[in-house]
Amino acid sequence: MSLELQHPAVAPQRLSHQFEQIDQQNEIYIVGMWTFLVTEIMFFGALFVALTVYRSVYPDAFEQAHSALNVWLGLTNTFILLTSSFTAAMAVRSKMLGQRVLTLLFLGITIVCAFGFLGVKYVEYSAEFREHHFPGPNFQWSQTVSPSTAQGDLAANSQVALGVPKIGVNEFPANYQPQQLELHKRELFFSLYFVMTGLHGFHVIIGILVLSTLWLLIYFNHPTVDDYMPVELAGLYWHFVDIVWIFLYPLVYLIGKQ
């Protein structure tokens, strides 16, 4: 339950010249932010479509490939992000009530969590680079590809899995084999994995920059942040980053793990 109140502690907000009332201004900021988040949803949506398409076309290869991911680190990161989302919501609440110290505390925890997330991601990425799981010419797959798997994927999806050779060569290599295509399918999974988590990580970095700027502005009592709206909008963005991960974690790390 929540209360609708004109809270005495809420700091007065300044009205920009193009608006008529503070309610209109607040709603415009929130709707504007949501409209921006809609573009972000479509942005990540295209990647989720690509993941879904390739997962449905190469189920076996994708299942094998994703078993190389560290599901525990993923779990830790989900926990970290959920926590940071909670503290971000609390930061907005504190800011709205004008509780400066609490705002700084909760914003601080959110930023620490964001760094923690990137730290865990760094550990994961390092392991994957060590094992040559980063796509490109150096991509390697240590586990053997079982022929039945290869057959299954190829037969079911012959129209997609056209046996075209590797990048940069204009003719079929003499040693071209279906196994190589199997290798490349795993590379495909890791391409999507790195693109999706990389872009998400990029959004986390942007979030750190925004939240840290707000933290400093509040710390030095800058007049821009007398209003709670900047914190509210940064919070919306941060929750969105959390939502992306809420879908990324099960779809990339968990599904097919049996």
Partner 1 sequence: MDNSEHINHGPGVGHHHVTPVGTYVATYLALLVLLVLTFAVSRIDLGAFNIVVALGISVVKTALVVLIFMGVRHNSKLTWFWASIGFVWLILLFLTLGDYVTRQWVHLPLGW
Partner 2 sequence: MSSIPLNPGAIGTGGRTRARENYLNIKHTVSSWLLTADHKRIAVLYMISISVMFLFGGVAAAGIRIALVRPHDTFFSSETYNKLFSAHGIIMVFFFLVPSIPATLGNFLLPIMIGARDLAFPRLNLLSWYLYMFGAVLVMGAILFGGIDTGWTFYEPYSSVYSNTNVVAVIVGVFIAGFSSIATGINFLVTVHKMRAPGLTWFRLPLFVWAMYATSIIIVLGTPVVAITLLMVVLERVFGVCVFNPACGGDPILFEHLFWFYSHPAVYIMILPSMGIISEVIACFARKRIFGYEFVAFSSMAIALLGFLVWGHHMFVTGESMYSGMVFSLITFLIAVPSAIKVFNWSATLYKGNVWLTSPLVFAIGFILLFTIGGLTGLFLASLAVDVHLNMTYFVVAHFHYVMVGGAIFGYMAGLHFWWPKITGRMYPEGWAMLSAFIMFIGFNLTFFPQFILGFDGMPRRYHFYPPEFQMWNILSSAGSSVLAVGMIIPGIYFLWSLRYGALAPSNPWGAKGLEWTIPSPPPSHNFDNVPIVTEDAYAYEAIYAAELAGDYSHVEAPIPLGAEAEYSSPAEPSKLPNSSEERQ
Q: Which one of 68, 73, 93, 195 is in contact with partner 1 (CB under 8 A)?
A: 93
Radius of gyration of the chain (CA): 23
- Cβ proximity to partner 1: between 144 and 159 the closer is 159
CA distance 166 to 173: 8
Is residue 6 at the binding interface for partner 1, with CB under 8 A as the rule? yes
Structure tokens at 60: 């076996």
Q: Which one of 78, 103, 110, 197 is in contact with partner 1 (CB under 8 A)?
A: 78
Q: Which one of 126, 146, 160, 164 is in contact with partner 1 (CB under 8 A)?
A: 160
CA distance 30 to 235: 11
Q: Which one of 73, 86, 195, 219 is in contact with partner 1 (CB under 8 A)?
A: 86
CB of 184 to partner 2, least distance (A): 4
Contacts of 219 (CB under 8 A, 6+ apart): 104
User: Which residues in the 54-93 window bind partner 2 by CB under 8 A?
Assistant: 54, 57-58, 61
Burial of residue 17 (CB within 10 Å: 0-12, 13-18, 19+) is exposed
What DSSP state is assigned to residue 16? P
Is residue 123 at the binding interface for partner 1, with CB under 8 A as the rule? no
Is residue 239 at the binding interface for partner 1, with CB under 8 A as the rule? yes
User: Which residues in the 137-156 window bind partner 1 by CB under 8 A?
Assistant: 156
185 interface partner picked from partner 1, partner 2, none, CB below 5 to 8 A per type: partner 2
Q: ∠ at Cα 239 (4, 122), nearest 5°?
A: 155
Burial 165-189 (b: 16+ CB within 10 A, else e): eeeeeeeeeeeeeeeebbbbbbbbb
Contact pattern for partner 1 over residues 163 through 202, marking x by CB under 8 A: ----------------------------------------
CA distance 239 to 8: 27
What DSSP state is assigned to residue 222? -
Is residue 42 at the binding interface for partner 2, with CB under 8 A as the rule? yes
- Cβ proximity to partner 2: between 105 and 195 the closer is 195
Structure tokens at 71: 């599901």
Is residue 76 at the binding interface for partner 1, with CB under 8 A as the rule? no
User: Which residues in the 150-189 window bind partner 2 by CB under 8 A?
Assistant: 159-162, 164-168, 181, 184-185, 187-188
How many CA atoms does the CB half-sphere of 101 hold within 13 Å? 0
Q: Which one of 119, 136, 147, 250 is in contact with partner 2 (CB under 8 A)?
A: 136
Q: Whole-angstrom distance between the N-terminal and C-terminal Cα of the chain?
A: 40
Give the footprint of partner 2 on this chain (CB under 8 A). 15, 17-20, 24, 27-28, 31-32, 35-36, 38-40, 42-47, 49-50, 53-54, 57-58, 61, 135-137, 159-162, 164-168, 181, 184-185, 187-188, 190-192, 194-195, 199
